[in-house]
Amino acid sequence: MTTQLLLGQTLSFTGDPFLQPWTDCVSHHERGGVLIADGRIAVVGDRASLQAAHPQATVTDYGRDLILPGFVDAHMHYPQTRIIASWGKRLIDWLNTYTFPEEMRFADPAYAKAVAEETLDLALRHGTTTLCSFGTIHEGSADALFSAAEARGMRIVAGRTCMDRDTAPPGLRDTAQSAYDESARLIERWHGRGRATYAITPRFSPTSTEAQLEALGALWAANPTCLMQTHLSEQVDEIAWMRDLYPQARDYLDTYESFGLLGPRGLYGHAIHLEPREIDRLQEVGAAVVHCPTSNTFIGSGLFDLVGLKRRGLSVGLATDTGGGSSFSMLRTMAAAYEISQLRGTAVHPAQLLWLATEGSARALHLDGLVGRLGPGAEADLVVLDLASTPAIAQRAARAEGLWDTVFPTIMMGDDRAVRATWVAGRSAPRPA
């Protein structure tokens, strides 16, 4: 058995810091260590006792750097990596101007492969070890991402995006039948293979017909261990558009619910402008909503009610939503979540932000216990953060008092320069040039 001992500060959570005082659910070792055996975390504890008990382990000493579970990005679009930070549009124009022309290029498997590899290497550079991504309507777009993740040993959730309504451009439209058949083939090929999970992926109800939503609902019913990912109530204009297309629907969520696309393994990205009934139903079924704060400010969507929805008992994940989101960094994403909560009148604690970017997202993806947690039995996907990675952060950290005062400047000002190392399944991920 190969054992690795990583030394540094360790931080782990024993509960949800949104539901109980964060002081009751944080375990911190200032001089800590993580023992890894066969790709899983075996022990987290005090460095001296771990070194004494495991003298045969290969030691990597990160000094005062902070060892955390690798970040979990619960909603993103890898096909949009190359259009990140495109200027000046709101959701519907942004899709038509930038997104759809780029997504057409994924008909070419070589292009899909190149962008999939580039995206996963960017994720690892930023300390993100698990992604949940949309593909394009091309079956090969999902194959490309699953293959690239498998080659890197990464845990991945992904799906082929489905759009058959004439609101999507010609060339980027499938049918109810082809969406069903190609998604079913991908489930057969990838779902549960190694570290892969398949997510059935209607882009959102404005680009699908009722027939397609119904077909995908039937596919989910036939494959209930799959996840289902889509978008919900991102922008006010989008909701008005949805109402034109689905005049009979009680609300936006109803366009999914009516066709079997509401369930405990459902992931609803954005969920900013929710009706009371929608919140009730999401809570009742145990579905997850995914907060994409840099996207919400970049595209001008609105202020997600993080604290309110957590108080209501909803499962909430955190995500970059690249390329609508403006950063690949989950540190920058936590900073934006903090800023949006401030605009709503609540200062979210750094413990809550770190929990959301790891365990919170893992729970949303039904991967809790496997990733997002620094504890025995979890897969050894880790990020090691330098808490003084730039001169601006270092001068602030130098006068910090206590753990959270030291960590918060890196959350607010950090990026990939703060990521000293990323570990995937117990192996240090090579840092791409």
Contacts of 53 (CB under 8 A, 6+ apart): none
Q: How far apart are CA 37 and CA 29, in angstroms?
A: 20
Query: Shortest distance, CB of residue 308 to Zn ion, whole angstroms?
Result: 22
Q: How far is the CB of 45 from Zn ion (least distance, A)?
A: 39
Query: In the window 242-301, what residues touch Zn ion (CB under 5 A)?
Result: 269
Q: Does 238 bind Zn ion (CB under 5 A)?
A: no
Number of residues counted as binding Zn ion (CB under 5 A): 2
Our CB check for Zn ion shows the closer of 206 and 269 to be 269
Asked if 103 touches Zn ion (CB under 5 A), the answer is no
The distance of closest approach from Cβ of residue 202 to Zn ion in the complex, given in angstroms and rounded to an integer, is: 12
Decide whether 11 or 112 has the Cβ nearer to Zn ion: 112
Q: Residue 185: what residue type? A: R
Residue among 140 and 269 whose Cβ is closer to Zn ion: 269
Please select the residue that binds Zn ion; options are 321, 368, 381, 416, rule is CB under 5 A.
Answer: 321
Is the distance from CB of 369 to CB of 155 less than 8 angstroms?
A: no
- Shortest distance, position 293 Cβ to Zn ion, whole Å: 13
Give the Cα separation of 331 and 328 in Å (integer).
Answer: 9
Where does this chain touch Zn ion (CB under 5 A) — which range of 137-145, 219-227, 319-327, 424-432?
319-327
SS3 302: coil
Pick between residue 125 and residue 291 the one whose CB is nearest to Zn ion.
291
Q: What's phi and psi for 340, nearest 5 deg?
A: -65, -40
Separation CA 251–CA 101 (nearest Å): 30
* Least Cβ distance, residue 309 to Zn ion (angstroms): 18
Find the Cα–Cα–Cα–Cα dihedral 337, 362, 75, 140, rounded to 10°: 160
Give the 3-state secondary structure of residue 201.
strand
Closest distance of CB 269 from Zn ion, Å: 5
Site stretch for Zn ion (CB under 5 A), options 11-19, 35-43, 152-160, 316-324: 316-324
* Closer by beta carbon to Zn ion, 102 or else 321: 321
β strands within 217-307, DSSP E: 227-232, 266-270, 288-291
Give CA–CA dist 176/202, Å, rounded: 11
For Zn ion, the binding residues (CB under 5 A) are 269, 321
